[in-house]
Each structure stands twice: as structure tokens, then as C-alpha cells.
């Protein structure tokens, strides 16, 4: 998130309309929280792991990892890899 703002600074961009999809949505949320004046708008697509249970993540897991959404995704990917339920 901070790297995004640094890039904006380097390009002389004061404010953006930011769209974040999946994990990028979590980064966009951090950018909005840390640098709210730099965003003209924020659009999030599929950033909430509402279907996390089907990927091996329980409600308790989500509560344990609520401080860091990226850790939740890392856990989901580990579960998917362990079960082999992904296409190569």
C-alpha cells in the first residue's frame, strides 16, 4: 500500500480512483486507511473471504487472522495446495 503511494508520488499523481480485486483489494483497503486523502474513490471486488469455508478456512481462523487479511489468503492457498484442489 505504501509502495503504491510512493509510485503515485514519483509520477506526480495526487489522487486516484482505486480498484482492488481479491488480494489487491486488501492492499487497496490498506492504502485507503493509511492515505485516505490520496483516493478519490475506492472500489473493492471479491475481497471478503465469504466463501473461505470451502477453501478450508473456519470462522475461528478468520477471527484469528482478522488483524492481517493477507495471512488469511496465505492460509487459504496453503490449504488449497495441501488438498490439491486447484488446476495447474
Residue 12 pLDDT exceeds 70: yes
Rounded CA separation 39/55 (Å): 32
What's the confidence (pLDDT) of residue 51?
52
**Alpha-carbon distance values, 8 to 21, 30, 47, 69, 72 (Å):** 19, 15, 23, 24, 28
What's the confidence (pLDDT) of residue 25?
81
What's the pLDDT band for 18 if we cut at 50, 70, 90?
very high
What's the pLDDT band for 30 if we cut at 50, 70, 90?
confident
- What global pTM score does this model have? 0.54
Q: Kindly report the backbone phi and psi dihedral angles of residue 45, in degrees, each rounded to the nearest multiple of 5, phi listed first.
A: -130, 120
> To the nearest whole number, what is the mean pLDDT of the chain?
77
What's the confidence (pLDDT) of residue 19?
93
More confident residue, 2 or 60: 2
Rounded CA separation 29/24 (Å): 9
Amino acid at each position: 500500500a505504501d509502495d503504491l503511494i510512493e509510485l503515485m508520488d514519483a509520477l506526480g499523481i495526487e489522487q486516484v480512483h482505486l480498484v482492488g480485486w481479491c488480494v489487491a483489494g486488501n492492499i487497496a483497503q490498506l492504502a485507503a486507511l493509511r492515505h485516505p486523502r490520496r483516493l478519490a474513490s475506492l472500489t473493492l471486488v471479491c475481497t471478503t473471504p465469504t466463501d473461505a469455508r470451502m477453501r478450508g478456512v473456519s470462522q475461528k481462523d478468520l477471527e484469528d487472522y482478522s488483524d492481517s487479511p493477507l495471512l488469511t489468503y496465505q492460509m487459504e492457498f496453503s490449504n488449497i495446495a495441501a488438498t490439491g484442489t486447484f488446476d495447474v
